[in-house]
Every structure is written in C-alpha cells, then in structure tokens.
Structure 1
Amino acid sequence: MSETVYTVESDAYLTAALARLRTGLPTLAPAWFDTLPRHLPRAWFSDRRRPDWEAALAALPHVADACIDARQGFCLRAAGGLAAAAEARVRTALEALTPWRKGPFSIFGIEVDAEWRSDLKWNRVAPHLPELTGRRVLDVGCGNGYYAWRLWGAGAGFVLGLDPAALAVMQFRALWRYAHDAPVVVLPLPSAALAQPLAAFDLALSMGVIYHRRDPLAHLRELRGALVGGGQLVLETLVVRGEKPLLPAARYARMRNVWVVPSPGLVRAWLGQTGFDDVRLLDVSATTTAEQRSTAWMPYESLAECLDADDPSRTVEGYPAPLRAVFMATAR
C-alpha cells in the first residue's frame, strides 16, 4: 500500500478553511495568503499519526440537523438526537484524537472532559472583553479552538485561531465539520505567520504562549502588527511575584521551552515597548489541580505530577508553582 502524501494543494481542509477566511476577512492582504505555505509546520504533513487522525475524521457520521451553541459553553447537538450506532462512531473518533488538552466540550451528548477546564479561564477573562458583536478576533496559540468557539458564541463577527500543533487542529476539524458556515477558522500555523503586519483585527488573544518564545518582544510586535490602531490585546502569561523574572535552567513544571517567567512589572514594560498603551492587570490566579488535571480524555501526567509532592507551592524543579496573570492593553 502506498503511503499517503499530504501537500498544500491536496489538503481539502486547508483549502476550505482558507476560502472561509478570505470570505470572512476580505480586508486581509492577498499577499499574506501567499506567505502561509512556508509557515506550515512540517508535522502537519509528515506526522506519522495523521493517517489515523484522518481516518477518525472520515468515520464521523453525517448529521444534517447538527447545531452548535457556544454561548454558555460548547454544546454540539442534533435536533433529533443521534442513533446509538452514530453516537458510538462519534465517540470512537473523538477517542482516536486524544489527548484533549482544552475543553470541556459536549458533543452529541458525549462529555469531553479535557485536561484544562478552559471554561474557568474564560470566566476570568470574559467579563473584561470589549463588545464583540461583529468584531474580528485573532486567537494565537488557540489549541483546539475552545476559546475561538466561545468568542464566536459571545458575538464575534469572525474568529481566526492559529496553532502549530497538528492534533489540536484535527480536534477542531472534528467539530468544524458540523459548524456549517460558522465564522470560525483554525489554521495549523505558528505566530511567526504574523510577521507581516496585517492591521486586520479588533481584538487579539495570546494565552499561554509568550513564555515559550525566545524573544517575547518579537511576539508582542507580531500581535501589535495584527491589530488595527485602537485594537485590544488580551495577554495571559505565567508570572512570578516580585520584580525579578525567573529564567528556568532547563524545565519549568516539566515544560520544555519556558525561556522566561516575567514579573507583572516586566510584562507592563514589554507592552509599552511594543506599541501598547492603557495596560491593565485583570487577574492573577494560581493554577490548581481543579483547573488542570488528568482525565479519561487526557490520561497522562498533568499538573499534580509537576509539583513537589511535599510542597505543592513549588514545582518539581524547585521553582514557584505556576501563577498566571491576564493583561489587557490597547494598540496605539
């Protein structure tokens, strides 16, 4: 049997997603679309698990009366319900796409309890969001699109999510196939795809990304370039108390590529240096095992295994346990 070769030209999802993006955001410069192929991660085409993921997606049943309600959570339902055989096919497909990192999702009555209770973070952020009706929103590092759906449910006119993790985008695809013409798209792209200033979005979110970037200022410049003047940024990051940033020697809470854990004051300075004003600290919360934990849908190590068993205020490396801050700023 010949091996399936995936290319930009043969990728039906990319074709459909980009077509919806062009329609939903006609102000995006055509030249930007030409740059996207070089930013697509190699894993999107070469991940050895992709044939299995594609098979799982192909096995999902057609549901003519499917509808999504993302106002109070994410709920995908069929008006007439699903037959037992169809529901079993859905469950099998969703299980083939584990681990689910962000959620929760209710999918035809199947409760996908992801590692992260992303609804808790949404509840901390949502009260501070500007009026979203008709707004163009960018979510960088969006994972499987949980927040993108919630933003749409809150009234956004169009939401574009970017995430280089192939499995996360596959999970989004499993839901998107039932979304009909919902103005939500997730592309398998890193934030480097924003190197060309777009000036196309009214609101941008970057949650849990900046500390993974070697150059945090470059990331903030990408976000500033994506926004229109007066547009707003929601930035969520790990922080440390006090004024001295933490520079992990190797790993932080078992995470690779955590280059810097800034202080809130340093984040404010970064934002000021990269074209943002009116910086506000909205929330500071310790991450707990009620919000991040192992589940049947993510049956691997989670936060509990990253903390010192004798002192949960410290990571296994001896650093302060995860503390997350949410900032909002306005593009000048």
Structure 2
Amino acid sequence: MQTQLIDLQRLTASLRELGMEAWAESLPEDLERLFAQRRHGDVPRWQAVLDELPEIADGEVDLGQCVAVTSSLPEKERDALKALLLRLSPWRKGPFHLHGVDIETEWRSDWKWERVKPHISPLAKRSVLDIGCGSGYHAWRMAGEGASLVVGVDPSLLFLMQFNAVRHFIGNDWPVHLLPIGIEQLPSRGLGFDTLFSMGILYHRRSPIEHLLDLKNLLRPGGELVLETLVIEGGENSVLVPESRYAKMRNVWFIPSTEMLMIWLRRAGFRDVRLVDLNRTFIEEQHSTEWMQFESLPDFLDPRDSLKTVEGYPAPLRATLIATL
C-alpha cells in the first residue's frame, strides 16, 4: 500500500498553517514506516476496487443533511457501482448515498450526529480531530458544518479504503483527511485542535483516565472535547467492569455512570463538564444489513429481555458529554 491513499501535501500544509509544524514534518516518514510494517492480505483486493471505481461527472455533493453525491446514473451502471462497493464490506458507520447507491451501514451514525450537533460549538473555521473515526462518516458531516480542517484517525486499513471510495466521488476539495493510526501514534505534544471528538472509544481503553489525559494534550487551551461513550445508571461511585465480555465484546473495560464520568473529566483537567445527551441504543440504530452481514446488536442482547446483554449486564446506554480545556 502506498501513502497516495492520503493527501499528504494538503494535510501537512494545513497543519503548518495551524502551527503544528512538528507533526507536519514527521508525519510523512511515520506513515511510510507504518505502511511498510503493516500487512493485510485483503489490501490488494480492496485496492482493486478503488482502481475500478468509475469517474462520474456532474455529481451534486451534500454534506449538510447527509453524506451524499447525487446524479442521474443509469440503472445498469448503478448496479455495477453497488457491486463494487459491496466488495469493501463490512460497512460499519454511515449511511452513504453515492450516485443512487444507498450504503446501509450497521450503524445509523446520522442519528448520533443529529443528537450531538445542537450541543457543540459551531464548527465553522475550526480545526477538528476525530478519534476512532471509522470510515469517516462524521468527519464528512463536520466538513459540511464548515470546519477548516478535519483529521480522522482510525487504525483500520479497511476504513481507509472505504474513506477513499467515498472521497473518490465527493472530490478532493473538502478539508477532510483520514489517517490509519491510533491515538498512540499521535504526538503527545505540539498539537492544538479546536474541537476533539472521541465517540465510542473510552470503554475500549484499559486506562480511561490516561485516555482523557491524552485527549487533553491534543486540544488547544479553550478547546472543546465531545465525548460519547457507554455508561450505566447509578451514582458518582458506580462503574461496571465486565468480568469477561460485554455484549460479546472482549475489549470493554470500564463503563461508568454519567456522574462518575464527569468526575473523571474534571480530575483530568477539563472544565464546564456537562451531559448533553443520554440515549439507549435500540436495534433500529444498530443492526446487520446487506452491507454488514455479521452479528450486530440484536445478537448481543438477551432474547428474553432487551434491557440486558447476553451476559446479563445492562443493555447499551450511551452518553455524550461536552467539556472545555
């Protein structure tokens, strides 16, 4: 795989403009080393899909109400495009609408975005970092809100391929970039984003306080953190530590109450901590589709009691909190 999957020239230029020169200088070499070290047997197959994507003129882009590129593509060509994009399955977060092909992802990420958007500071002219961005659905929506730069990070190479498939049709004029790295590969100093999103990540971290401190180091003074994570009902001393799996996931470590989470944020140095959304996840929002045919939320819940996971823990309840550095 080559770094042409990332528009490094534009990205590093934007980073320099924002005063992140050190990262702009080190990033190209870091990515070359990462690509040289990582191997995935499906990469040639995924790359073949990108190479076969058709050039379609006169598409109308909409990132304000959805992530869509519309055109009057003939049915035969639309069916061929769908067959190509299905080869990049599973598609987890979306949906995307590309020239009449509706990519019905596992998650209705647009629902989460509509819950979060009213509460965040306007993104116009702000630099944004999206930790655990998946294939970039929310990153595109952030650009649609006028962000001057959106950098999404997620280590999955498939997500990078899916992002590039979408970018192929949306075009390169939008300031959106996806890097196939985790938060561990980000510089611990020298960054200063205006807004930082960490959605669906905290409960996967073995040390949640360390994660919050890492997030703090990525923001400028006065910057805004948007944190979305699993929570449980309870008071300020309540936290669930699954003995083994939670909703069939092995890598779930800490699920706090909202009150406990607010304490963690304040202890990490954030201020103006506030809960803006509390939402129980139902199967209408997360389920298997033609584009993601593996197990999903209906398989993770107790078939006799949808308010419990198959392990007997409380079913997924998600909170969004906003805090300022």
TM-score by length of 2: 0.93
Comparing 83-92 with 254-263, greater Cα deviation is found at 83-92
Shift of 1:315: 0.5
Provide closer, same or farther for how the CA distance between residues 116 and 229 of structure 1 changes in structure 2, counting only shifts above 3 A. same
Q: Counterpart of 2:125? A: 134
Matched, 1:103 2:103: no
Shift of 1:23: 2.4
Identity %: 44
Quick check: 1:12 aligned with 2:4? yes
Trace 1:252-267 onto structure 2 (pairs within 5 A).
Answer: 252-267=246-261
Matches within 5 A, 1:1-332: 6=1, 10-14=2-6, 16=7, 18-26=8-16, 27-33=18-24, 34=26, 45-78=38-71, 81-178=72-169, 179-243=171-235, 244-331=238-325
Q: 1:290 to 1:84 in 2, by over 3 A?
A: closer
Number of matched pairs: 319
Q: Which runs of 5+ in 1 are unaligned?
A: 1-5
Given that 2:194 and 2:219 are in contact with CA atoms closer than 8 Å, whether structure 1 keeps it comes out as: yes
What are the superposed Cα offsets for residues 276-330 of structure 1, whole Å, 9 maximum, x if unpaired? 1000000111100010011111112110110011111110011000000000000
Q: Hey, which bits of structure 1, 4+ residues long, moved more than 6 A? A: 39-44
Counterparts in 2 of 1:44 and 1:94: CA distance versus 1, 3 Å: farther
Q: Distance in 1 between matches of 2:319 and 2:99?
A: 34
Give me the whole-angstrom Cα distance separating, in 2, the residues matched to 1:54 and 1:220.
35
1: CA distance, partners of 2:280 / 2:29: 38
Instruction: In structure 1, give the amino acid aligned to 2:38.
Output: F
User: Structure 1 stretch 59-68 or stretch 142-151: which is displaced more?
Assistant: 59-68
Q: Distance in 1 between matches of 2:323 and 2:37?
A: 33
Structure 1 residues 83 and 23 mapped into 2: Cα distance closer, same or farther (>3 Å)? farther
| Corresponding residue number in structure 2 for 1:3 | none
CA distance in 1, matches of 2:224, 2:156: 25
Deviations 1:47-103 (A, max 9, x none): 11111000011100112333421100111124xx33445423321221001111111
Counterpart secondary structure, 1:319:
coil
Contact 1:32–1:196 (8 Å) recurs in 2: no
Letter aligned with residue 25 of structure 1: L
Given that 2:276 and 2:322 are in contact with CA atoms closer than 8 Å, whether structure 1 keeps it comes out as yes
Q: AA paired with 2:174?
A: A
SS at match of 1:312: strand
**Alpha-carbon distance in 2 for matches of 1:310, 1:30:** 55
**1:154-177 CA distances to partner (integer Å, 9 max, x unpaired)?**
121111100111111211110112
TM-superposed deviation, 1:11: 2.8
Change (3 A) 1:302 1:42: farther
Tell whether the 8 Å contact from 2:22 to 2:190 is kept in structure 1 after alignment: no
SS at 2:306's partner residue? coil
Which whole-Å CA distance do the structure 2 matches of 1:222 and 1:36 have between them? 22
Query: Secondary structure of the equivalent of 2:239?
Result: coil
Q: Is the 8 A contact 1:139 1:206 kept in 2?
A: yes
Deviation at 1:28, TM superposition (A): 4.7
How far apart, in 2, do the equivalents of 1:44 and 1:329 lie?
37
Contact 1:253-1:315 at 8 Å conserved across structures: yes
Residue identity opposite 2:40 in structure 1: D
Q: CA RMSD in A?
A: 1.9
Asked if the contact 2:20–2:191 (Cα under 8 Å) also holds between the matched residues in 1, the reply is: no
Decide which moves more: 191-200 or 99-108.
Answer: 191-200
Is the CA contact 1:194–1:225 (under 8 Å) kept in the aligned structure 2? no
CA contact (8 A) 1:198 1:227 kept: no
CA distance in 1, matches of 2:248, 2:241: 14
Letter of the 1:292 partner, please give it: Q
